[in-house]
């Protein structure tokens, strides 16, 4: 089975199991490194939600960097087993919650509010349009929560009225969208959902 490296923090240099034969596209090391370079000073004490978690690498990296907790959501039974194994290998079960279920329906089982969301849906899926409105609902995210969406850089732009686009960051074929939840009653200029 392939392995993924924890980049920094408490578990720096430790390895977790990668996808092996599972049909998933884990976030590449260089993409994770760029993502956490951008977020590094904001992770400590945060409550993190890792959607379409796959291997759990993003949430586990956040826990390594002193996030308060991480909730992992995935629908694939193989991924759920892999995330369980990776949580156990780092002994972070006291700060980790794993939810097996389809998005957006499984969001109702996640106990928020969350400060930071990692969302890495399968490229070409319509999950972004389905999940972002649900995330912005009352009491699920804290005000000014950050939602980071990884997408194929050739995908159509994200359009939303509930989030401000803080920045976009391209790395190879991937693009990271950093969205900031707007306060209730505020709307992004020109956005729609």
**Which DSSP string do the residues of 81-118 spell out, in sequence order?**
HHHHHHHHHHT-GGGEEEEE--TTGGGGGS---EEEEE
As a whole number of angstroms, the distance between CA 33 and CA 5 comes to 10
- Strands 47-51 and 114-119 come out as parallel
- Region 42-61: mean pLDDT is 94
Confidence category of residue 182, pLDDT binned at 50, 70, 90: confident
Lowest mean pLDDT among 146-155, 159-168, 180-189: 180-189
**Peptide bond before residue 191 is cis, with ω within 30 degrees of 0:** no
Whether the bond into 113 is cis, omega within 30 of 0: yes
Q: Specify which residues 119 forms β-bridges with.
A: 51, 149
| DSSP state at residue 55 | T
Q: Which superfamily does 3-181 belong to? A: Vaccinia Virus protein VP39 (3.40.50.150)
Dig out the tokens for 102 from the structure. 């389809």
28 three-state secondary structure: coil
If DSSP codes are grouped into helix, strand and coil, which group holds residue 151?
Answer: strand
| pLDDT attached to residue 94 | 97
Ranges 15-24, 37-46, 95-104, 105-114: which has the least confidence: 15-24
Average pLDDT of the segment spanning 41-53: 92
Q: How far is residue 151's CA from residue 137's CA, in Å, rounded to a whole number? A: 22
Average pLDDT over residues 142-147: 90
Q: How many degrees, rounded to 5, is the angle at CA 30 between CA 141 and CA 3?
A: 90
Domain spans of the chain? Answer: 3-181
Residue 86 pLDDT exceeds 90: yes
């Amino acid at each position: 089975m392939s392995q993924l490296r924890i980049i920094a923090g408490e578990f720096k240099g430790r390895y977790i199991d990668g996808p092996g034969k599972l049909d998933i596209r884990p976030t590449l090391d260089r993409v994770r490194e760029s993502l956490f370079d951008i977020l590094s000073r904001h992770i400590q004490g945060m409550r993190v939600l890792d959607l379409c978690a796959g291997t759990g690498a993003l949430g586990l990296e956040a826990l390594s960097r002193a996030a308060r907790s991480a909730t992992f959501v995935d629908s694939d039974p193989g991924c759920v087993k892999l995330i369980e194994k990776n949580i156990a290998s780092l002994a972070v079960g006291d700060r980790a919650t794993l939810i097996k279920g389809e998005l957006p329906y499984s969001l109702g089982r996640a106990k928020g509010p969350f400060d930071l969301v990692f969302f890495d849906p399968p490229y070409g899926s319509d999950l972004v349009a389905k999940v972002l409105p649900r995330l912005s609902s009352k009491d699920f995210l804290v005000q000014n929560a950050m939602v980071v969406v990884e997408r194929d850089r050739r995908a159509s732009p994200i359009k939303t009225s509930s989030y401000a686009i803080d920045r976009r960051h391209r790395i190879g074929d991937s693009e990271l969208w950093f969205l900031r939840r707007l306060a209730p009653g505020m709307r992004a200029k020109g956005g729609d959902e």
